[in-house]
Amino acid sequence: MKTIMFNDEPYGLTDAILSGVKTQTRRIVYPSKSHPNKSFQDLTGMRFGRLIVICQDHVDAYRKIYWKCQCDCGNIAIVRGNALKSGNTQSCGCLKHEIRNVKHGMTNSRLYNIWSKIKSRCYVKTDPAYRRYGFRGISMCEDWEDNFIAFFEWAIYNGYSDELSIDRIDVNGNYEPSNCRWSTPKEQSNNRRSNIPITINGITLNLQEWCNKLKINRNTVNTRVRICGWSYETALTTPVRKHNECKSRRQHKSNDTD
């Protein structure tokens, strides 16, 4: 058993995932008539993350109170009261150590690879994909950019699994929690296709927007384009016929690309 003294240790969501500890920061104030400092709060017996306060340890030159705490891992830690109450310190340091190990252990993982590839296509000008991302102003939110763990936590809480890929809901939007989801390759390609810009009579909308505007079923348009080989413009603007559509409309086939 070792005794550790420190003031601050960042504690985030991951700590809770790792430890399975529900953070209890009880705000019960024990009145102490004898204590000269009116705001004094006896923390004895309280739990802060992995730490349970055993007793008061000492008061420093700045009159800050330090508490002797028992960590779930067995170590004893001497921690400043404010650090306990603010949630900055939630263990003897073992949590921080575990996070570091997870972070390190993850560098070869699929999620880490996804995260670093996104960063690369958004920020590395020599990346072949940069033109389609960073160059077009697509970026990664600050929370994720320098913090793989934040991205990792979002992924786990939002249905990540190994067969899914990250997908931006708005393909012109950024990589950020509100615009990202995990989806199958099929869902992704549907999303991409529905976002192809299509210009008809000088108006540019994506496929789904055109379908809504012209009140035509998207599957009909997709069939006309992929199976019959029509252009998107013809597929969208030709009234729907009931029979032999492909055969009778082959003459509409054009060289338009999508």
Residues 92 and 111: their CA atoms lie apart, in Å, by 29
Among 13, 18, 52, 73, indicate the residue that binds Zn ion (CB under 5 A): 73
First to last CA, the chain: 67
**Closer by beta carbon to Zn ion, 57 or else 167:** 57
CA distance 66 to 118: 44
Stretch that binds Zn ion, among 54-62, 69-77, 111-119, 174-182 (CB under 5 A): 69-77
14 near Zn ion (CB under 5 A)? no
Q: Residue 14 in 3-state DSSP?
A: helix
Residue 71 in the binding site for Zn ion (CB under 5 A): yes
- Cβ–Cβ under 8 Å, residues 181 and 169: yes
Q: Using the 8-state DSSP alphabet, how is residue 97 labeled?
A: H
* Residue of the chain from 94, 180, 198, 211 that contacts Zn ion (CB under 5 A): 94
Nearest distance in Å: CB 93, Zn ion: 7
Q: How far is the CB of 37 from Zn ion (least distance, A)?
A: 29
**What letter would DSSP give residue 179?**
G
Which of 162, 159, 157, 235 is CA-nearest to residue 196? 235
Site string (26-65) toward Zn ion, x via CB under 5 A: ----------------------------------------
CB of 92 to Zn ion, least distance (A): 3
Chain contacts with Zn ion (rule: CB under 5 A)? 71, 73, 75, 91-92, 94
